[in-house]
Amino acid sequence: MKPPEAVRPVVAGRSESQGEHPHERLESQVRSYCRSFPAVFDKAEGCRLYDVDGREYLDFFAGAGALNYGHNAPRISRAMVDYVRGNGVMHSLDMATRAKEAFLSKFESVILKPRKLDYRLQFVGPTGTNGIEAALKLARMVMKRRNVIAFTNSYHGLTAGSLAVTAGESYRNEYYDSAADVTFMPYDGFLGDDVNTVDYARKLILGKSTGVDQPAAIVVETIQAEGGVNVASAAWLRSLDELCRDCGALLIVDDIQVGCGRTGEFFSFELPGIEPDIVVLSKSISGSGQPMSIVLLKPHLDEWEPGQHTSTFRGNNLAFVTATTALEYWESPLFSAEIHRRGQHLAAMLEQLCTSFPNLETRVRGRGMLFGVEIANAAIAQSTSRAAFRRGLVIELCGPEDNVLKVLPPIVTETDDLAAGVRILQQSIAEVAGMTPTREI
């Protein structure tokens, strides 16, 4: 692997000698990841990215969870190329196409039937936030209630409706977000290990004169990825599900980032054994990085009038084709076990990483192939992410203090590559904290 130079001047991806880059001159200030990862990327394969200078990077970011099966997985790319070569329909609004039919059949036979799940599929605009908007709108319409319960440190997207249920402080602004009709409750663990926050929510929702309106829905991430890799316990999720039944609210699980195998099972709610009324999937559902978002809804909730919730890009046929191929991974009964095996290996190495710096306050948490390495000293966490990038590892920060390294490699990453990434993390922490690890990984 050819590592990037330890320190090199970079202006949004190109060395200073090459002058101002069009990204800087033309692209809005709002751009963000090109600031965290200053390179111009060109090619990608599996868990690797390559920049225009041919430098190789291990990708522990995986398109923020959109590339669970890695970049350009050969079987998925082949299906895409064949479809394009065969003049397959690309855009079709929500007209019926062969590609959509194939996806629906595969989703039913590979995902729904083996899990005995009964959901209708609603195709929405192409990104995760479109799915959340549709889910909230449907819940309010069907339940004839306006209030929605969301949680501290949640992230559900940034359009008006999804922003209203997003707690992340850096995204909120009193002038454009709407706090009306949303009540935030503490997520599992938010009030400490000894407080069951569902009991707290139960008192406020079911009690008299609490000031909390009866909710149409409770929207939750089973693991808050952006919020700092906060893992809700199975017991907490089950009691939340029970609370929904007791207060007549729908349970919406946002599986946009932690669904599609990220936690080891296809859905993140399989382990706790709950069955949400509405599930939103996006990111890795297409398996290729092609935009796609779907809402799964219990059939009795399907009160939409034809065309009542519409959008031009609900029929990305290329995404249907790649999604259908990606679902083939789930035909093997071994696939899930394989994700867990890799995840356990990764977790053990991350624990070793933390114990190798006994003078640093660190903590690992996560499940499946998603882990957060919290470093109490936020400045060290942030410098580690930058130092890791200089050493050839793409890794993002998360959490309200931006002090959690989010370890999010493709779920198919081989253990050697996982080890190489953790080693880079160890070298990076050693460099920025000025500490020598007690034991090399």
**Segment 131-150, which members bind ligand PLP (CB under 6 A)?**
132
Tell me how far, at minimum, the Cβ of 232 lies from ligand PLP, in Å: 13
Q: Helix 415-433 crosses helix 378-390 at what angle (to 10 degrees)?
A: 120
CA distance 106 to 136: 27
Asked if 263 touches ligand PLP (CB under 6 A), the answer is no
Asked if 157 touches ligand PLP (CB under 6 A), the answer is yes
Residue 38 or 259 having the CB closest to ligand PLP: 259
Tell me how far, at minimum, the Cβ of 254 lies from ligand PLP, in Å: 5
* DSSP per residue, 248-273: T-EEEEE-TTTTTTTTSSSSTTTTTT
The 3-class secondary structure across 322-390, one letter per residue, is: HHHHHHHHHHCCCHHHHHHHHHHHHHHHHHHHHHCCCCCCEEEEEECCEEEEEECCHHHHHHHHHHHHH
Closest by CA to 155, choosing from 322, 347, 363, 396, is 396
Tell me how far, at minimum, the Cβ of 230 lies from ligand PLP, in Å: 12
Asked if 156 touches ligand PLP (CB under 6 A), the answer is yes
Tell me how far, at minimum, the Cβ of 153 lies from ligand PLP, in Å: 11
Asked if 128 touches ligand PLP (CB under 6 A), the answer is yes
Asked if 256 touches ligand PLP (CB under 6 A), the answer is yes
Asked if 257 touches ligand PLP (CB under 6 A), the answer is yes
Give the range of 36-44, 49-57, 69-77, 123-131 binding ligand PLP by CB under 6 A.
123-131
Asked if 268 touches ligand PLP (CB under 6 A), the answer is no
Give the residue, chosen from 155, 187, 267, 357, that forms a contact with ligand PLP under the rule CB under 6 A.
155
Beta-carbon contacts of residue 247 (< 8 Å; ≥ 6 apart): 202, 205, 206, 214, 215
Asked if 228 touches ligand PLP (CB under 6 A), the answer is no
CA distance 280 to 278: 7
CA distance 297 to 130: 15
Give the residue, chosen from 68, 97, 122, 129, that forms a contact with ligand PLP under the rule CB under 6 A.
129
Residue 140 or 156 having the CB closest to ligand PLP: 156
**69 class by beta-carbon count within 10 Å (0-12 exposed, 13-18 middle, 19+ buried):** buried
Give the residue, chosen from 97, 127, 288, 356, that forms a contact with ligand PLP under the rule CB under 6 A.
127
Query: Is 31 strand, coil or helix?
Result: coil
Residues near ligand PLP (CB under 6 A): 64, 127-129, 132, 155-157, 221, 225-226, 254, 256-257, 282
